[in-house]
Amino acid sequence: MKVQRKTKLDSEIPTASMPDIIFMLLIFFMVTTVLREYSGLPISLPKAKRIEKLKSKRHTSHIWVSKEGLISIEDKLYQAESIRHVMYEKRVSDPQLVVSLKADERAKMGLVSDIHTELRKADALKLNYSSKTAVD
Amino acid sequence: MAGKKRRFKGGEIPTSSMADIAFLLLIFFLVTTTIDMDKGLGMVLPAEGEELEINKKNILNCLINSTGNVLLGGEGVEIKNLSKTIRQKLAENDKLVISVKAHKASSYKDYVRVIDQLKQANATRISIAESN
């Protein structure tokens, strides 16, 4: 004797709201993405303990300093004396600018000191010495 | 030109492929996003021409030489003991300004270590002297 099922069980995942969920994720990733990435120079960062996170990538500008003394901003090499012009323009277009100094741990302080002077001349005063977290 | 009017067949945008399009965009942004943030030691430089005169007894000189040795107020201190010493000195005089002066040929690594030690000692008044 064949028993007939009276009600058909609907066993489908509702797909109507799928685009909405995906759109939400999409918007999240769109907002958090910064498309411009610069490769910089090959460096090994120094280590430190009292580390702060940089608040926003949008307001951050990087200066790479290699151990040979090369200075790179946005993948272009600069002389120490011309940093002030580059950074001044950035400072004017973004008053919240934070400069992240990605210098090699073997870089010489004479050069870093020159960069300090240049940044002060360009009025880009918020500086961040990029470093890795030290573990002991 | 009087063409025959076509019958209106219901103007709906096909929504079945919407999810696919959104997925494609989603995957693109997933791939290009880097979540990890930059970390480092924060510092605010003084504005140009804003040199202040500070009472000599409130200044603590911290000199770094080219071999990475540190001289704190005339005494040699190991970098790893710096925060302890500075904390003591800050307890004695809370107006203390620590002036960090690094030799031109000293390495950036030692400088960052010194700044890190100062931050660990909760020193807020840090001055970076021009190295010469």
CATH number, domain containing residue B96: 3.30.420
* B29 is a domain residue: no
Rg (CA), chain A: 25
Q: At the topology level of CATH, where does A47-133 sit?
A: Nucleotidyltransferase; domain 5 (3.30.420)
* pTM greater than the 0.90 cutoff: no
* B41 is a domain residue: no
pLDDT (0 to 100) of residue A6: 67
* Residue contact A106–B107, C-beta within 8 A: yes
pLDDT digits (tens, 9 = 90+) for A63-110: 999 988 889 998 889 898 888 889 999 999 988 899 999 999 888 888
* B52 is a domain residue: no
* Residue contact B109–A50, C-beta within 8 A: no
Please report the DSSP string for B65-77 in residue order: -TTS-EEETTEEE
How many CB pairs lie under 8 A apart between chains A and B? 149
* B108 is a domain residue: yes
Domain boundary assignment for chain A: 47-133
Q: How distant is the Cα of A4 from the closest Cα of chain B, in angstroms?
A: 35
* B81 is a domain residue: yes
Chain A residues touching B47 at Cβ < 8 A: 120, 123, 125
Mark A8-45 as b/e (b = at least 16 C-beta within 10 Å). Answer: eeeeeeeeeeebeebbeebeebeeebeeeeeebbebeb
Please give chain B's pLDDT, 132 residues, in tens: 555 666 777 788 777 787 788 888 888 888 877 666 678 888 888 877 767 777 778 888 888 888 888 888 888 888 888 888 888 888 888 888 888 888 888 888 898 988 888 888 888 888 887 755
**ipTM exceeds 0.85:** no
Beta strand B39-44 with A126-130 is: antiparallel
How many CB atoms lie under 10 A from the CB of residue A49?
Answer: 16
Structural domain count of chain B: 1
* B76 is a domain residue: yes
* B26 is a domain residue: no
DSSP state of B2: -
* B58 is a domain residue: no
Q: In the structure encoding, which two tokens stand for residue B132, read together? A: 């010469």
- Alpha-carbon distance of B43 to A131, in angstroms, equals 13
* Residue contact B104–A109, C-beta within 8 A: yes
Of B15, B29, B102, the CB nearest to A109: B102
